[in-house]
Structure 1
Amino acid sequence: MKLDNYGLEMFRFELEEAVGLENVITVEETREELSIDQYWLTHMWKEKGKDLTLPSFIVRPGATEETSKVMRICNTYKIPVVPRGGGSGTAGGAATIHGGIVLDLTRMDKVIDIDEKSLILTAQTGINGRVLEDYLNEKGLMLAHYPSSVDISTLGGYIAARGSGVMSTKYGKAEDMVLSVEVVLPDGRIIDTLTTPNHACGPGLLQLFVGSEGTLGVITKVRMRLDPLPESRMFRMIQFSTIHEGLEAGREIMISRLKPAVIRLYDPGSTEKSLKTTGVDLDGNYMVLMFDGYKELAEIEMKKAVNICLENGGKDLGTELGKHWWDTRYVAYKPPVHPAYPLLYGTPETVTTYDNIEKVYIEKKKLIEEKYKQWNAKYTAHFSHWYSWGTMIYDRFYVENPPEDAKEAFRLYNEMFAESSRINLENGAILNEHHGIGFKLGWLMHEQYGDSFDVLLDIKKVIDPKCIMNPGKLGFGIW
């Protein structure tokens, strides 16, 4: 529903009654800033001077009860609600493509409890990742997530997009750390999932909301597994002649059931884009290894892992370069070296089993560098989150001089994403491993799920019958 004149003013008044006059923001600059996230297309559109679809208001609740009141109001008026944390997403999940309001959760930034006996954190979802981690570290604890966006992202964002941090190979993704969530539904009801994710009490509600990107409700409070800060962290840098050797070494480490906190394998292009930005003069294929925990155990596991690498053609470069990687691991994701407009770039990352991953890499590299040769397109990849059954490929395409016309650049970007994503799907991989779907990839969700997508859509229609929750994301559209 579109509101204007006194209808819009009445809607605004009710929101102000719910959260306070000062927490309903109408300033155009703020509305513009919070109408997009880090999705390249939205930034390109803005930089080209094209009109953005702005929210009517930015609403900042300070508690679950206030969030519930806001949701009841928006449900009554049938106004779209876009939940937002730090805005670090790269898939357009926080873009206001249908207007409505932005529900800015950053006032909800409190640590509610730390159960130091069970190592469980209870916190509001708007808390900043860096602030939270510093607070936990002072207590000898960590939320072992550590995403590259930690300085700007929020706890709720970790969960909403099933995020991965640099240590996910040992500690799991955000979805593995979350124990329970409190959710405000579109009609304002407040529900809690069970206090433990491990049970035999029917289907689990928890994982329905994890990864839902604000399309089913607003996650307002979470309970997360914590871990003690490790006694020791040990690093190694290994050089490989080919990416095949590195993939085989990583696979054997994982199927041997060793527990590395980090395996990060860079191809030559990613070495150039990432490792060299930290001042390291390297060329070729490199693997960073990190084991942590008790020193004696970490030493044993590191020795076993290095031997596996050597047996697969690797060359041990020692500890110093590996430690340097850890100390500078966020550099490539921050100004002034991070990719940014006017450079056209996209990350069609995916995850699949070990028997498919090298083919995915080869085919996408060939696609980008041959089909888009006229644009002098470049392709890079690293493999950074490893499982007992497979690994993910964090790959990117780059075009230094994209079309000047906004619509032509829009089309080129989407075409490159579509072609890359279909290679993923054709080779047993999926659309995305940890950046989310948003509206960047939502239109491909039916291709990924087939008829199963209709089941997801049916769930959406039951929980959000008026389709006010982040409409247009995850392929759900609007009705």
Structure 2
Amino acid sequence: MNLTGYALEMFRSELESAVGVEHVIGQEAIRKELAVDCYWLTHMWKEKNRDIQLPYFVVRPATTEQTSKVMRICNTYKVPVVPRGGGSGTQGGAAAMYGGILLELTRMNQVIGIDEESLILTAQPGINGRVLENMLNEKGLMLAHYPSSVDMATLGGYLAARGSGVMSTKYGKAEDMVLSVEMVLPDGKIINTLSLPNHACGPGLLQLFVGSEGTLGVITKVSIRLDPLPETRLFRMFKFPSVNAGLEAGREIMIKRLNPAVMRLYDPGSTKKSLKDTGQPLEGVNMVLMVDGFKELAEVHMSKLIDICTSNDGIDLGHEPGVYWWEHRYDFYKPPLQPAYPLLYGTVESITTYANIKKLYEEKKQLVEQKYKRWNATYMAHFSHWYPWGTMIYDRFYIENPPEDAEEAFRLHNQIWEECSRVNMKNGALLNEHHGIGFKLGWLMREQYGDAFDVLLDIKKAIDPKGIMNPGKLGFGIW
């Protein structure tokens, strides 16, 4: 519903009653700042001085009860609600595509409790990742989810897009760590999933809400597994003669269930961009390994990894490059190393089986560098989240001098994304592994799911019959 005049002021008045006058923000500068996340197209559009859809207001609740009141008000007025954490997403999931309100959750930043006997954290969703980790480390604990976005991202954001951290190969993704969530539904109802994720009490609601990117409701409380800080961390860097040799080493490590805490394989382009010289030149194909835990066990674990890597023609570069990587692991995702407009780029990452991964890498690299040769497009990849059955490919395309015209740049960006995504699906890969779908990839969800997408859509309509929750994301559209 498009609110103007008296109706808009009445709507504002009700929101102010729910959260306080100072937490319903109408200043245009703040609305412009928060109306976009890290989605490239929205930044390009903004830089070209094109119109950006703004929310009516930025609303900042502090409690579950306030959130519930806000949702009831928006449901009554049929006003779209876009939940927002730290705004670190790259898929347009927190962009206010259809106006409405932007529900900014960073006031909900309290730790509710830590069960140190069971190693369970309960906290509000808006707590910053870095703040949370520092606090836990002081207690000898960690939330073993170390994403590159840690300085911006929030606990709720980790779950909203099924995020991965650098240690996911051993400790799992955010979706594997979470035990339960509290949700405020579009009509304001407050529900809790079962207190534990492992049960035989019917289908699990937890994993329905995890990854729903704000389209089914608002996460207002999270219970999640913690881990003790390890006694030791051991590092190694290996150089391989080819990407395929490195992939084979990684496959063998995983099918033997060795599961290092970190295993990141960099192709030549990604090595050049992301790995720094630590006294010896780093070029070609390189793998960073880290194992953690008790010292004696970690040493045995590392020795097995060394054996597998050397048997696949890996050259041992020692521990120093690995230590350097760990100490600087977030540098590559901050200025000046983090790519930004006017560079045209995209992370077309995906996940597939070991049987398909080599072909997937080769086909996408050829597509980007051959078809878009006139734009001097470059392609690079690393493989950073490993599973017993396959791995994800974190791959990017770069164009240093994209078209000046906004519509042409928009078209070129989307064309590369479309073609890379179809190569993914053709090779048995999924649209995404840990960045989410948002608005960017939503239009391909039906192609990914087939007729099963109608089941997702029916669930969406049952929970959100007025279609107010983050419309346009996950391919759900508006109604």
Give the TM-score range, shorter chain. Answer: over 0.9
Q: 1:306 to 1:195 in 2, by over 3 A?
A: same
Q: 1:260 to 1:455 in 2, by over 3 A?
A: same
* Count of aligned residue pairs for this structure pair: 479
- Alignment check: 8 A CA contact 1:91 1:441 kept: yes
Counterpart of 1:398? 398
Q: Matched residues in 2 for 1:259 and 1:404: separation?
A: 46
Equivalent position amino acid for 2:360 in 1: V
Equivalent position amino acid for 2:161 in 1: A
Counterpart of 1:260? 260
Q: 1:377 to 1:468 in 2, by over 3 A?
A: same
How far 1:259 moved relative to its partner?
2.4
- Alignment check: 8 A CA contact 1:278 1:332 kept: no
- Alignment check: 8 A CA contact 2:278 2:320 kept: no
SS of the residue aligned with 1:148?
Answer: coil
Q: Are 2:161 and 1:161 aligned?
A: yes
Q: Are 2:232 and 1:238 aligned?
A: no
Q: TM-score of the superposition, structure 1-length normalised?
A: 0.99
Q: Matched residues in 1 for 2:49 and 2:279: separation?
A: 36
How far 1:436 moved relative to its partner?
0.4
- Alignment check: 8 A CA contact 2:186 2:216 kept: yes
Q: Matched residues in 2 for 1:381 and 1:278: separation?
A: 21
Q: Matched residues in 1 for 2:204 and 2:277: separation?
A: 44
How far 1:280 moved relative to its partner?
7.0
Mapping for residues 444-455 of structure 1, pairs under 5 Å: 444-455=444-455
Q: Are 2:357 and 1:351 aligned?
A: no
SS of the residue aligned with 1:239?
Answer: strand
Counterpart of 1:62? 62
Counterpart of 1:103? 103
Q: Give the fraction of aligned pairs with identical amino acids, expressed as a percent.
A: 75
Counterpart of 1:72? 72
How far 1:276 moved relative to its partner?
3.4
Q: Matched residues in 2 for 1:278 and 1:86: separation?
A: 33
How far 1:281 moved relative to its partner?
3.4
How far 1:273 moved relative to its partner?
1.3
Counterpart of 1:365? 365
Counterpart of 1:120? 120
Q: TM-score of the superposition, structure 2-length normalised?
A: 0.99
Equivalent position amino acid for 1:265 in 2: L
SS of the residue aligned with 1:346?
Answer: strand
How far 1:336 moved relative to its partner?
1.2
- Alignment check: 8 A CA contact 2:278 2:321 kept: no
Mapping for residues 6-21 of structure 1, pairs under 5 Å: 6-21=6-21
Deviations 1:212-248 (A, max 9, x none): 0000000000000000000000000000010000000
Counterpart of 2:428? 428
Mapping for residues 57-456 of structure 1, pairs under 5 Å: 57-276=57-276, 281-456=281-456
Deviations 1:392-442 (A, max 9, x none): 000000000000000000000000000000000000000000000000000
SS of the residue aligned with 1:117?
Answer: coil
How far 1:277 moved relative to its partner?
8.3
Q: Matched residues in 2 for 1:299 and 1:249: separation?
A: 19
How far 1:279 moved relative to its partner?
8.9
Q: 1:11 to 1:179 in 2, by over 3 A?
A: same
SS of the residue aligned with 2:275?
Answer: helix
How far 1:205 moved relative to its partner?
0.2
SS of the residue aligned with 2:9?
Answer: helix
SS of the residue aligned with 1:276?
Answer: coil
SS of the residue aligned with 2:222?
Answer: strand
Q: Are 2:464 and 1:460 aligned?
A: no
- Alignment check: 8 A CA contact 2:180 2:192 kept: yes
SS of the residue aligned with 1:201?
Answer: coil
Q: Are 2:24 and 1:24 aligned?
A: yes
Q: Matched residues in 2 for 1:251 and 1:127: separation?
A: 36
SS of the residue aligned with 1:401?
Answer: coil
Equivalent position amino acid for 1:155 in 2: L
Equivalent position amino acid for 2:208 in 1: L
Equivalent position amino acid for 1:337 in 2: L
- Alignment check: 8 A CA contact 1:369 1:378 kept: yes
Counterpart of 1:38? 38
Q: Matched residues in 2 for 1:273 and 1:474: separation?
A: 32
- Alignment check: 8 A CA contact 1:181 1:206 kept: yes
Deviations 1:122-155 (A, max 9, x none): 0000000000000000000000000000001000
Q: 1:70 to 1:205 in 2, by over 3 A?
A: same
Provide the alpha-carbon RMSD of the alignment.
0.9
SS of the residue aligned with 1:65?
Answer: helix
Runs of at least 4 residues of structure 1 off by over 4 A? 277-280
Q: Matched residues in 1 for 2:399 and 2:272: separation?
A: 16
Counterpart of 2:474? 474
- Structure 2's unaligned 5+ residue stretches are none
- Alignment check: 8 A CA contact 1:259 1:301 kept: no
Equivalent position amino acid for 2:154 in 1: T
Q: Matched residues in 1 for 2:306 and 2:209: separation?
A: 40
Q: Matched residues in 2 for 1:122 and 1:166: separation?
A: 22
How far 1:337 moved relative to its partner?
1.4
SS of the residue aligned with 2:151?
Answer: coil
SS of the residue aligned with 1:29?
Answer: helix
- Alignment check: 8 A CA contact 2:120 2:224 kept: yes
- Alignment check: 8 A CA contact 2:167 2:262 kept: yes
How far 1:278 moved relative to its partner?
8.3
Q: 1:112 to 1:278 in 2, by over 3 A?
A: farther
Q: Matched residues in 2 for 1:154 and 1:331: separation?
A: 19
Q: 1:329 to 1:397 in 2, by over 3 A?
A: same
- Alignment check: 8 A CA contact 2:148 2:333 kept: yes
